[in-house]
Structure 1
Amino acid sequence: MPMPGYVFRDGGTTPPAVEDADTAFRKRITTATTSTPTSHASKPITATSAAPLGQNTTTSHQLATGHHEIEGAAQRAGKEDRTTNLGWQANAVGVDTLVGGLPNDDLWTLMRRFNKQMYHVKAVPRPPPGGLDLVVAKEDDFSPDKLRANLERLYMTVIVGLIAFGKHIARLRSWREPRRTAGFAAAYFLAWILNVVVPFMLAFVIVLITVPESRDFLFPPAPLALVDHKTGGVQKPKAGVLGSTDSVTGAPEKYKGEAVEQEASNMVSGIASVAISSAAGRHDQANPDPEGGSKTLDKGAPDPTNLATSVADAQSSAQGGNPEHAHDKTKQPMEEAVWAKMRPAMHGVGQAADTWERVANALSPTPPFSQNKRLQLGAIFVPIMLLSLFVKAQWVVRGTTFFTGFAFFSDPLMQRGIHFLNEKIPNWPEYLDLGNTLLKGVPTNAQLTITLLRIGEANRAPLPPPPSSSHPPPDKPVGVDKTAITDNGLDASHSEIEDAITVDKPTGGEEAAHAEAEGKKKKGGFGAKVMSAFKHTTAGGVETKLTLDSAKAALGSRHAKDKLGVLPTKAEMKEKPTEGPVEFKARYDGRKGAVYVDSSVSPPSGRRPASPCVYFTTHLDGHEHVESMPHDPTWAVAIADLAEIKKVGGLGWKGKLVVGWATNREVKDGIEIVTRQGQKYRAMAIAERDELFNRLVAMGQQVWESY
């Protein structure tokens, strides 16, 4: 199959045969010698190309380059022999539908969450059993950031879905929608009288899976925050206004999905706050004073991960305990045990979110993935339903109790069986994974996103980044169809819904109290003044440290060079134009330049690698869409040679916390590229780091594994 970035020269919308295109593309790229990278102080070098990875491609690659019945702007752009800018600088204003069959708001929601989830990928020699890449590697190490990302995914997928299910059940049980509830009750008790409750339930599930129209008919949708989970009636959203329809609080949002993402972030922060407060004994009964206190880059900053242990020691000392742990033989083993168990716990949370996303994408597929998977899922339940008509209940009970006892008392036999499987089929657990069996070929949201990104790259029309804005969303209700909500059965009048979704106007007393509170907040007390002075001192220290880094970089310090330009200047903060899709301003070895992505298809020439390729140069001509590579790039790597891509931080994670708090400036991070020959290139101070990462992982034929 053609590599993403390949342009069909026949000008048609249907690609040539997969085998012919693949053969033609492989002939275009020849094997050349590879020069060894020199030190950073040496003259510019160029990494030459090698042949494409000898591996099979995934379902994602095949769908990205196949024919699509519904075409968007990205699919139609493949007829042009150049990179098409579909609105990278437009910030979503006037951008046409990018991928056929998928609204731009949903696409940008997927991309925004993909950016938070994907940080490090490596190429593997062959696709996994499920046929889709971006599977989490077994060697993926635990980190608090990864755990946070997985917990946020768990909230946005599983928890919000369960909350929505619970509110539908509350609506049914409340009898506020009498016709719908009566219909469910009549069907259930009729099945009970005929003794076919289980077959009826299975048939009900089959209908929901195979007939998408039945879902809205049987479970009419309503804004999630508008439904009371206890009474099933209308409630005032917790945010005070119905600014979003798919969030639990109903908080306003500027772009679709942002309210749920903010809820997920606040949920994880709340859990962390409770954990730290518990370790610190914040609400100690002996001293119920709610007031607390707070205590400078990288090495000078305190380690937040030690905060809970430190405050617990302080609490123990205050109560007369001995905070010294030299004699405590339980502390280190328990800490090691907790951290050792956090890795499988993190993977378990991620797998739960992956399974939920796969089931959702199977029931409501997104183009270009097949719409027939739900029919296959429904067909699985048909024989079970037929068997349930003949199998007696006591047989099920007897069989369940037998297998339970067998599993409990047959541990030696089971261990021998597992040992035998490990010898004969080392990767046998992979074949039991739902993603490789029942849900094979059904993507997670990350796998769906990489497929959509590959569609853009296959047509040389990279998908533009999600829109962003520093201004808060307006505090006004979202547009809802009150007639549709009441017609669907929600027990409320139009006036009640209007009162619930709009912001309450404050009374005269409330306005005075709010103004007084704002005045006190602006004026501040002694503690606020001390904190403000400390913040300004810290900000000055940050600037001094960065100035020293500039001096060290001039003397040749590699570590200092990587920090140059990580903090934007005031001018850059006022006007931050979106870069891309070809040029991404960056620094390499401390020198200003740009990373260019050349998606054309051309053989190598001299010291230049075959295109598609990525290269860095300090020779900037001021144009953003130049794809002609200069003759002396600092480094250049063919896309086929990429073996590992990793997002790296511009500062240490503790330093980033300090900088964010003291300066309120966003740190510009970097990206590290590793070639198949083991060469590493690190470009830093990239404002659009996520967008560059997405382009690189979506361009090649590599099968990626997530770390």
Structure 2
Amino acid sequence: MSQKDEVVPIWNSVTTTALTVNTAVEDAEKLPTPEGPTDSHVLSQVEQDEKGLIQKAGDTPDITDVGWNNPADHTEQLIAGLSNEDLWMLIRRFDKQVYNVKAVPEAPLQNLDLTRADDDEFSPDKLRATIERFYTTIFVKLTSFVKHIARLRSWKETRRTSVFCAVYSIAWLLDLLVPTFFAVLIALVVYPPCRAVMFPPAPIALVDKETGGVQKPKAGVLGSHDSVTGAPQNFKGEAAEQEASNLVAGVASVAVGSAAGKHDQGVPDDAPLEDTVPDATDLVSHTADAQSKAHGQVPSDHHDKTRQPMKKSVMDGANMLMQIIADITDSWEKIENALSPTRPFPRLTPRLRLAAVLVPACLLSACTPLYIFSKVAGLGVGFGFFGDPIIQRGLSILNRDFPHWQKIFELQKQRDSSLLRGIPTNAQLTLTLLRIGEANASPLPPPPTSRTEPPSRPASLNHEELTLGATSEEIHEAASAQPTHQQQGPQLSPETPPKKNFASRVIGFFRGTTATGVESKQAIDRMRAVVGSRHAKNRVGVLRPKGRTETPVGPVDFDARYKGAHGAVVIDSTQEPPVLYFTTDIPQGGDLYVGHRKKGSVLFSIPVTDIREMRKLGGMGWKGKLVVGWAIGGKEVVDGLLIKGKDPKQSYQLTAMGMRNQLFNRLIAIDGQVWASF
């Protein structure tokens, strides 16, 4: 019997086994009885065996405040099975990632909403957010993996490296390297405890990627375990997020627009300073023109016909890069959430699905000689190199007969995909957690904010559990903060102010002049708003002193302005469906009913069910924020929110909202809309 005759029945039995396992997986954990347009709506209503503070509060029908003013004081878990720090990290990154959503009529093929729309518009700020998300989601994990490999190769952890070396040697002698590789993957997928045994965790910044030993973190102190630099942080994940932000800010001319925050969320049409402040993204081209003038040449802006085409090519390439990075990050997050699911999503089914694919691959690799693999690989390389006429002909036929055939290979857009169906990205997971809070009438509180500098002290470290091949003294010395040495030379006393040179005086003069101009612009806007200017009304109150808190601050009423009028935007959940309205008569004592407000105080109201689009808006536009951040140190820009309903006339722009993200999160989770992200 030939090798081909031997392989065919084996392959048939393998595929039959895979189909059987997959069918068993589908029946293992079916969706519960509640109904909804997507799995996220359904799972948010499922009764859990273990309950956190949010689920326990759902026993009462009234809206429960579970600590909106002091979320960091909670010691009890808000969501069962998820630490509060992990929950806050998810919400904090959700606020940065999602800022423009629209309701769509049908659920996506994967039956989870908040998917990215195909016509997603490009902007430098969106590229910035995508790169930061890629860094915190993938790059940090890849860095940890590289340092794990360095630890294994260093032989500093002798026992663990010896076991890996022995297994590899035996598999090599028996020609079972590929099956062994798949077997290890199956073990890591199916049995999570073996992950910590094979790859014991260690702070990323504490491991030297060259030697695999202990190193001094780049930040000078081990203030965090999950960041590349080890910088201190007040809350989990903040150090990695700051690293990502600094990475984008350090990119040169291609990322100037991203570093400056251009198209920050959404720029209002009437944003001040947009027309008067020069565009920072033109800095590079203007500098090149100045260089040409200095050499007696004609600036490119006057005659160069390549500038706009090349600029368009760069923007198109950046848009494509953004889409690719977003797709890779989405897939990575889905795989992570499949390997380590978070309730209420099924915990066993995703791992069994992955195992149903890996087991047949392991069996097939064990039964197939290496000679066949090498021949197939050689045939593929040769066909890809020399078979272009056949490939192009086949692609033209597919494009003609099946215009959308590429969608078949996008697993995230297949209804019957056995691997990714029902597995959320982090944004979809966060939306489901927000819906759990709404389903239990206890909205999730906002994550605590870092108003103070994180302390420069080592994070808690259990030296006994670290297997880095170093003593506890060496680990403690590397993790501790570097001592501050006195600098050589004369030292200025705290009372002696530093001397200012001519350049610093000039810069200070212009900073003061700019600050005065901004303040004058705000005063003029207030006067113009009094006499009825629509644009001026939308700019009143967008600049306020830092650290000042407004009242009310949620969870049912939020301080805001509408057409310049100060008041509160209120969610009245006593009605069916719930109603969102703005009133200048701020509710007192918990009376939220819209009918109890003073006559003429309600400027608009809209059922939450009728909301079709929500878009976060920057308070002063990206240029205005640059000016305020440079010239006015004691004030901050307060952003707004644009809400649109079914009727084109239902368009309401809320401004000066310190709790804008919290209102957005409540509205996106409170009802049954199916959202798409733009």
Q: TM-score range by the shorter chain?
A: 0.7 to 0.9
> What does 1:278-357 correspond to in 2, within 5 Å?
297-357=273-333
Would the aligned equivalents of 2:204 and 2:228 in 1 still touch at CA under 8 Å? yes
Structure 2 residue aligned with 1:145: 125
Secondary structure of 1:400's partner?
helix
Structure 2 residue aligned with 1:635: 604
Identity %, equivalent residues: 45
Deviation for aligned residue 1:517: 11
Structure 2 residue aligned with 1:492: 470
User: RMSD of the TM alignment (CA)?
Assistant: 2.4
Structure 2 residue aligned with 1:270: 250
Secondary structure of 1:646's partner?
strand
- In structure 2, the CA distance between the partners of 1:220 and 1:17, relative to structure 1 (3 Å rule), is closer
- The CA deviation string for residues 418-449 of structure 1, in whole angstroms up to 9 with x for no partner, is 321127x7965655758972211111110110
Verify: 1:376 aligned to 2:348, yes or no: no
Q: 1:18 aligns with which of 23, 31, 34?
A: 34
Verify: 1:619 aligned to 2:585, yes or no: yes
Q: Distance in 2 between matches of 1:179 and 1:658?
A: 58
Q: Distance in 1 between matches of 2:156 and 2:414?
A: 39
Q: Distance in 2 between matches of 1:436 and 1:697?
A: 27
Letter in 2 for 1:217: V
Q: 1:584 aligns with which of 558, 561, 564?
A: 558
Letter in 2 for 1:666: E
Structure 2 residue aligned with 1:285: none
- In structure 2, the CA distance between the partners of 1:660 and 1:484, relative to structure 1 (3 Å rule), is same
Structure 1 residue aligned with 2:188: 208
Would the aligned equivalents of 2:557 and 2:571 in 1 still touch at CA under 8 Å? yes
- The CA deviation string for residues 142-192 of structure 1, in whole angstroms up to 9 with x for no partner, is 000000000001110111111000000000001111111111011001001
Q: 1:61 aligns with which of 16, 36, 41?
A: 41
Deviation for aligned residue 1:140: 0.9
Structure 2 residue aligned with 1:461: 442
- In structure 2, the CA distance between the partners of 1:97 and 1:190, relative to structure 1 (3 Å rule), is same
Letter in 2 for 1:65: Q
Q: Distance in 2 between matches of 1:94 and 1:352?
A: 35
Verify: 1:702 aligned to 2:667, yes or no: no
Q: 1:660 aligns with which of 629, 642, 653?
A: 629
- In structure 2, the CA distance between the partners of 1:522 and 1:120, relative to structure 1 (3 Å rule), is farther
- In structure 2, the CA distance between the partners of 1:255 and 1:435, relative to structure 1 (3 Å rule), is farther
Would the aligned equivalents of 1:89 and 1:577 in 2 still touch at CA under 8 Å? no
Q: Distance in 1 between matches of 2:198 and 2:55?
A: 36
Structure 2 residue aligned with 1:647: 616
Moved more, 402-411 or 428-437: 428-437
Secondary structure of 2:187's partner?
helix
Q: Distance in 1 between matches of 2:288 and 2:497?
A: 31
Secondary structure of 2:72's partner?
coil
* TM superposition score normalised by structure 1: 0.84
Structure 1 residue aligned with 2:570: 596
Letter in 2 for 1:501: A
Q: Distance in 2 between matches of 1:228 and 1:518?
A: 39
Secondary structure of 2:573's partner?
strand
Q: Distance in 2 between matches of 1:272 and 1:626?
A: 54
Q: 2:461 aligns with which of 441, 463, 480?
A: 480
Letter in 2 for 1:18: P
Secondary structure of 1:477's partner?
coil
Secondary structure of 2:605's partner?
strand
> What does 1:15-414 correspond to in 2, within 5 Å?
18=34, 57-94=37-74, 96-272=76-252, 297-372=273-348, 373-404=350-381, 405=383, 408-409=388-389, 410-414=391-395
Structure 2 residue aligned with 1:470: 451
Q: Distance in 1 between matches of 2:568 and 2:321?
A: 40
Letter in 1 for 2:202: A
- In structure 2, the CA distance between the partners of 1:513 and 1:368, relative to structure 1 (3 Å rule), is farther
Q: Distance in 1 between matches of 2:256 and 2:38?
A: 44
Would the aligned equivalents of 1:598 and 1:611 in 2 still touch at CA under 8 Å? no
Secondary structure of 2:580's partner?
strand
Secondary structure of 2:424's partner?
coil
Deviation for aligned residue 1:611: 3.1
Structure 1 residue aligned with 2:7: none
Would the aligned equivalents of 1:421 and 1:428 in 2 still touch at CA under 8 Å? no
- The CA deviation string for residues 32-77 of structure 1, in whole angstroms up to 9 with x for no partner, is xxxxxxxxxxxxxxxxxxxxxxxx6111111101111221111111
Q: 1:669 aligns with which of 639, 663, 676?
A: 639
Aligned residues: 622
- The CA deviation string for residues 398-431 of structure 1, in whole angstroms up to 9 with x for no partner, is 32343441663321222211321127x7965655
Structure 2 residue aligned with 1:688: 659
Structure 2 residue aligned with 1:29: none
- In structure 2, the CA distance between the partners of 1:364 and 1:522, relative to structure 1 (3 Å rule), is farther
* TM superposition score normalised by structure 2: 0.87
Q: 1:563 aligns with which of 513, 534, 539?
A: 539
Deviation for aligned residue 1:516: 5.0
Would the aligned equivalents of 1:460 and 1:599 in 2 still touch at CA under 8 Å? no
Q: Distance in 1 between matches of 2:216 and 2:162?
A: 27
Q: Distance in 2 between matches of 1:644 and 1:574?
A: 30
Q: Distance in 2 between matches of 1:87 and 1:621?
A: 19
Would the aligned equivalents of 1:355 and 1:434 in 2 still touch at CA under 8 Å? no
- In structure 2, the CA distance between the partners of 1:204 and 1:170, relative to structure 1 (3 Å rule), is same
Letter in 2 for 1:680: S
- The CA deviation string for residues 461-519 of structure 1, in whole angstroms up to 9 with x for no partner, is 0000000132101111111111111xxx2111111111111112233x43x56955999
- The CA deviation string for residues 671-692 of structure 1, in whole angstroms up to 9 with x for no partner, is 1111122221111111100000
Moved more, 172-181 or 304-313: 304-313
- In structure 2, the CA distance between the partners of 1:250 and 1:431, relative to structure 1 (3 Å rule), is closer
Would the aligned equivalents of 2:551 and 2:558 in 1 still touch at CA under 8 Å? no
Would the aligned equivalents of 1:643 and 1:675 in 2 still touch at CA under 8 Å? yes
Structure 2 residue aligned with 1:606: none
Deviation for aligned residue 1:377: 0.6
- In structure 2, the CA distance between the partners of 1:436 and 1:515, relative to structure 1 (3 Å rule), is farther
- In structure 2, the CA distance between the partners of 1:276 and 1:61, relative to structure 1 (3 Å rule), is closer
Q: Which runs of 5+ in 1 are unaligned?
A: 1-14, 20-55, 278-295, 603-609
Letter in 1 for 2:310: M
Secondary structure of 1:300's partner?
coil
Moved more, 222-231 or 328-337: 328-337
Deviation for aligned residue 1:359: 1.0
- The CA deviation string for residues 306-352 of structure 1, in whole angstroms up to 9 with x for no partner, is 11211122233334543243322211111111112222211111111
Q: Distance in 1 between matches of 2:593 and 2:255?
A: 55
Q: Distance in 2 between matches of 1:119 and 1:692?
A: 12
Would the aligned equivalents of 2:614 and 2:642 in 1 still touch at CA under 8 Å? yes
Deviation for aligned residue 1:299: 1.5
- In structure 2, the CA distance between the partners of 1:178 and 1:519, relative to structure 1 (3 Å rule), is farther
Q: Distance in 1 between matches of 2:612 and 2:308?
A: 38
Secondary structure of 2:379's partner?
helix
Structure 2 residue aligned with 1:288: none
Would the aligned equivalents of 1:550 and 1:560 in 2 still touch at CA under 8 Å? yes
Verify: 1:446 aligned to 2:427, yes or no: yes
Secondary structure of 1:18's partner?
coil
Would the aligned equivalents of 2:44 and 2:432 in 1 still touch at CA under 8 Å? yes
Would the aligned equivalents of 2:111 and 2:422 in 1 still touch at CA under 8 Å? yes
Q: Distance in 2 between matches of 1:67 and 1:322?
A: 72
